[in-house]
Amino acid sequence: MKPCLSMHLVNFSAEPPGEWQRLFDLAVAADRAGIGRLVVSDHVVYGERLDRYADPARGGLAGGRQPTGPDGAWLEPLTVLAMVGALTERVRLCPMVLLAALRRPIVLAKTAATIDVLTGGRLDLGVGVGWQQEEYEAAGLDFAGRGRLLDHTLEVCHALWTQERASVSTEELSFEGMHQMPKPTDGTVPVWVSGTVNRRSMARLARFGSGWIPWGPDAADVASGIPKMREAVAGAGKDPAGIEVAGALPLVYDRDGNPQVGPTMDAVRGLVEAGVTDFRIGFRAGLQPPAGVQAAAEYLAPWVEAFEAAAGA
């Protein structure tokens, strides 16, 4: 599992941006510079209780704050990644994380397989249950049952991706002899499961996951979270050795607020030794790489070079 430098593409805006061309220019620049994976965020609708994002009991993040108000503009992530995939050649594409249970499973399976095939097998599917009750209610779904809803969604997707004559038999749904083509390029779409180390999310990771996206305290202290994850996955009957791990790589800024390549990369070696394989960077609003594909690519290239040197990639 070669360490990978990922970058967050900001597919949302607190205020209407007028146009989104800079997002796509940055995606092309990242591809040219050698960034390994681009990730985007997901919200389908918003209620008005955004304070609940800070409630870990609901799946939120202690002390966290949503980056927009309820009327912020959020682009649908799979649609964005389809367009990004058409503009790029090598970089992998990942919603991190997709509220997969809000999509009908057979349609999600078809959409993901289509993007994967059209991009030459470059799609990863990062999934999680989310924190916002209103999104589930607007979709006619039970927020309290969101974990089971996600498991069911992944069951259906996995069957349609991997079986020539797909069959599913669950409490929610039963079908057999269903055909859905094309299949994903490598036989399935890699699924990255988001969550803390708890029984339900670790069972999901063991059953469906090729990667783990730590959340909450396990993201804050990923070095301690990884051994707990591995123990839980092994207890669920899967060898954890092949599971990749996502981790944020916090940018280090100088006194003027400018991100610094060298000091940022000082943390890489320790995280590699801890087991992180995917290192996600995200630039502050107002401190994005310069506008224009060529200028942005030239800005990002030293980040990639320094990361590869630090990670031994």
Q: Tens digit of pLDDT for each residue in 245-300?
A: 999 999 999 988 889 999 999 999 999 999 999 999 998 766 789 999 999 999 99
**Residue 257 confidence (pLDDT):** 85
Tokens representing residue 262 in the block:
């060298």
**Residue 181 confidence (pLDDT):** 98
Residues 204-220, mean pLDDT to the nearest whole number: 96
Burial of 268 (C-beta count, 10 Å sphere; 0-12/13-18/19+): buried
Q: What is the pLDDT of residues 118-131, one digit of tens each?
A: 999 999 999 999 99
Nearest-angstrom CA–CA distance, 304 and 129:
32
Instruction: Give percent of the chain above pLDDT 70.
Output: 99
**Residue 286 confidence (pLDDT):** 66
Is 90 exceeded by the pLDDT of residue 312? no
| Average pLDDT of the chain to the nearest whole number | 95
Is 90 exceeded by the pLDDT of residue 204? yes
Q: Read off the pLDDT band of 222 (50, 70, 90).
A: very high
Q: What element of type H or E holds 57? A: none
**Residue 61 confidence (pLDDT):** 87
Residues 51-60, mean pLDDT to the nearest whole number: 89
CB-side neighbour CA atoms (13 Å) of 255: 0
Q: What is the pLDDT of residues 141-184, one digit of tens each?
A: 999 999 999 999 999 999 999 999 999 999 899 999 999 999 99
**For the chain, how far is it from start to end, CA to CA, in angstroms?**
10
Task: Specify the pTM.
Answer: 0.95
Amino acid present at 140: G
Domains and CATH numbers, the chain: 1-43+66-95+249-313 (3.40.1280)
Tokens representing residue 264 in the block:
């940022």
Is 70 exceeded by the pLDDT of residue 34? yes
